[in-house]
Structure 1
């Protein structure tokens, strides 16, 4: 199919609520003034993708085959770029991109860049993430390339607060308690010298309101959305039928 602008493929389902949240934010943050001005989006949201953290911890099967299957489907359907709204899945992005032959926009790089913009001059960045993201060192490696010192919470805080909050969001449990746990974890990061924090799991932004009052907080979901818009979106008037000479505004809104 021919699209008026590059089509985005969303490789989601990790988890389902985080995927829906990503797409909602993409619509809200795209500066389109007509329906036709929004990005064409294809979505593969398979919640059966094996758990990424379990795989990285050696406690479950690899998610790569399922991720590659989804990515290939999206490419065949017309996606020119992929967004994967799951930080932990970025441990497999290089394999995924190579196997599927399609560019995957880098959520980790986008989140760290947003942190330097949110807190200019900050050198110590606190991370709220899954154990899998921690084990893979995704933010540590990317941060080192930017000259940033990446800080993780202690193992106890990870287990009792961060992991518990992520499970609560995925399971539809008490989100008020989850919000307090994330705020407590952010307090710990602040005590460790973090100058800005990143909600580096797509479930965490859903319960990060209180944490944002502790430290400047970067939402990795928003960072990926902004990277997508920056790469793919063009003004409405450049989209065929939205501003083409001879096409009336009344015709364009029908």
Structure 2
């Protein structure tokens, strides 16, 4: 029996974050039997060049050819939709979407929409993310359009965030819970944010590993997991 309805996860950026996505996706899926889980394909393309490196310096290796090839290959299988598990890769969202007629869930857009559900009265929204996401202003237009004031990390907080993402999670393969919690606390207490967006899936991984923060956060990966389930459920119910 072939899969009538399925989606494709474009991951590997990085692998631990992709594993976190899949783990939480399956945990949140209501199931009573194997057949209750959703059909999906995970492309763990770990060798996609670093997105931040190219955004900050176009002399570095360009990640777009690898991402576009993944889109083209997977489009031949005709998934119902794509999920792109990397905030920074959404820098190329319009170009990737233009390469296929199959919809790609927009993690940035959905995360900003989620703010009103987490902290309805929020006015100042903090952002923790990679230097590529921060400096490119990837979230800025969405937040401004939604009426929020953007609170970006200081150079010191950005450096600490980069260290957690790259040194601890991507390179060492584990999270530093104390470092993660200090970052969120600083954005709320020192920078005056009402809520903090976790705008990198490695930060989402940190939140899963050490979910003790007492401060309000909008987790981009958690948000896109919920949207994945909502869309996959509708597709599954519409099976022939």
Q: Same fold per TM (> 0.5)?
A: yes
* Residue number among 184, 187, 190 corresponding to 1:189 in the alignment: 187
- Which residue of structure 2 lines up, in the alignment, with residue 245 of structure 1? none
TM-aligned CA distance change 1:219 to 1:198, over 3 Å: same
- Which residue of structure 1 lines up, in the alignment, with residue 213 of structure 2? 212
Contact 2:198 2:204 in 1 (8 A): yes
Contact 1:128 1:199 in 2 (8 A): yes
- Which residue of structure 1 lines up, in the alignment, with residue 18 of structure 2? 19
Measured in 2, the distance between the counterparts of 1:75 and 1:108 equals 22
- Which residue of structure 2 lines up, in the alignment, with residue 113 of structure 1? 113
- Which residue of structure 2 lines up, in the alignment, with residue 55 of structure 1? 54
- Which residue of structure 1 lines up, in the alignment, with residue 75 of structure 2? 75
CA apart distance, 1:38:
2.2
CA apart distance, 1:174:
5.5
Partner secondary structure for residue 112 of structure 1: helix
TM-aligned CA distance change 1:93 to 1:224, over 3 Å: same
Contact 2:17 2:204 in 1 (8 A): no
Task: Please state if 1:136 is matched with 2:142.
Answer: no
TM-aligned CA distance change 1:125 to 1:17, over 3 Å: same
Q: Unaligned 5+ residue runs, structure 2?
A: none
TM-aligned CA distance change 1:39 to 1:135, over 3 Å: same
TM-aligned CA distance change 1:235 to 1:52, over 3 Å: closer
Answer with 1 or 2: which has the greater Rg: 1
Contact 1:37 1:239 in 2 (8 A): no
Contact 2:196 2:217 in 1 (8 A): yes
RMSD over aligned Cα, in angstroms?
2.1
TM-score (norm 2): 0.90
Measured in 2, the distance between the counterparts of 1:105 and 1:112 equals 13
Q: Unaligned 5+ residue runs, structure 1?
A: 241-254
Measured in 2, the distance between the counterparts of 1:174 and 1:45 equals 18
- Which residue of structure 2 lines up, in the alignment, with residue 39 of structure 1? 38
- Which residue of structure 2 lines up, in the alignment, with residue 90 of structure 1? 90
After superposition, the C-alpha distances for 1:91-115 in whole angstroms (9 at most, x for unaligned) are: 0011011123321101111112222
Measured in 1, the distance between the counterparts of 2:238 and 2:101 equals 28
